[in-house]
Amino acid sequence: MKFLPISYFDKNPKSTKPVWGINTASESELGVVGEILLAIPGPNGGTPDRLLIPQTWLPQELSRVIGRKRLLESVEFRGAVDKNLIGLISQEDAERLLRQPGASEEQAKIRARSLQIRQAGAARTLADSKTEVSRADGVVEEDDGDSSGRNKTVIIDHNENTNVAEAAAAGVEEAEPGISVQFKMWVDRLCMSKDVLAKNDIKSRRKFSSPELRYLQRSLPRNFTQTLTMVNSTLSKMS
């Protein structure tokens, strides 16, 4: 699949075609897996609007949330694309991906996750949920006057938020070379899922090392035929 540069959209500023994008945070220099949250300045410098790109292999119609013109003029959005946190694709590629097997199950998972967040509301803090939030550009600013992250590009990590000390206390075995405790626990959760859902989660993560793929290969249930076929195919291409 070919990702489009931001300049592709600049060529026709009067176009009303939608802007489609994919969360590619795992393939950026940061190598972080998680949702991407952008604060897009409001019209005439007004209150920023939030643009959330979920951690999924499904493309998102980004201009449905924020108007195309305002989105493409946003420094925050252009910076996220330049840093490879977001991959822009054509509408044809987006429609092709949305027709792939597992797309409906993945969309249902995203809707369920969104509902869960809305129901949790403001009463559930980041500390309560043990969700880690980090600057997308890797910069830590001590005295920026906004500790909430509302006006920053952040990555919300839902997969790697298990503390290693807590995992050890819970009886999780020490990770083998190239495999973190967090990754092992993520795979354990996959194994308790269903074949198509595990395949979707692996596709959404996008980037794996050879040791991680081999660990998946031997850890996944044998009846996860779709997922194992994908893992085996990826391993063959890497070798």
Classify the C-alpha dihedral 29-30-33-34 as positive or negative: negative
CB-CB contact of 227 with 218 (8 Å)? no
Q: Give every CB contact of residue 234 below 8 A, 6+ residues apart in sequence.
A: 208, 213
Q: What is the mean pLDDT of residues 148-172?
A: 51
Those residues whose C-beta lies under 8 Å from the C-beta of residue 66, and which sit 6 or more positions away, are 40, 49, 51, 74, 77
Q: For 44-56, what is the mean pLDDT?
A: 86
At 31 the pLDDT is 67
CA dist., res. 55 & res. 22, Å (int): 9
Classify residue 33 by burial, with Cβ atoms within 10 Å: 0-12, 13-18, 19+.
buried
pLDDT at 184 over 80: yes
Residue the block writes with tokens 């980004």: 62
pLDDT in tens, 101-147: 999 998 898 888 777 766 665 433 333 434 333 433 333 333 344 44
For 136, other C-beta atoms within 10 Å of its C-beta total 22
DSSP 8-state assignment for residue 60 = E
Tell me the pTM.
0.65
Name the 3-class secondary structure at 214: helix
pLDDT at 29 over 80: no
Residue 184's alpha-carbon distances to 63, 64, 87, 90, 158, in angstroms, are: 37, 37, 28, 35, 15
User: At 226, is the secondary structure helix, strand, or coil?
Assistant: helix
Tens-digit pLDDT profile for residues 108-118: 988 887 777 66
Average pLDDT value for residue range 187-216: 89
DSSP β-ladder status, 154-157 and 132-135: antiparallel
pLDDT of residue 196: 92
pLDDT value of residue 79? 92
Sign of CA dihedral 193, 197, 199, 200: negative
pLDDT band at 25 (very low <50, low <70, confident <90, very high): confident
- Cβ atoms of 23 and 38 within 8 Å: the answer is no
Q: Which residues contact 191 (CB under 8 A, 6 or more apart)?
A: 198, 219, 220, 221
pLDDT at position 117, please? 67
Distance CA 84, CA 81 (A): 5
**Residue 229 confidence (pLDDT):** 94
What percent of the chain shows pLDDT beyond 70? Answer: 74
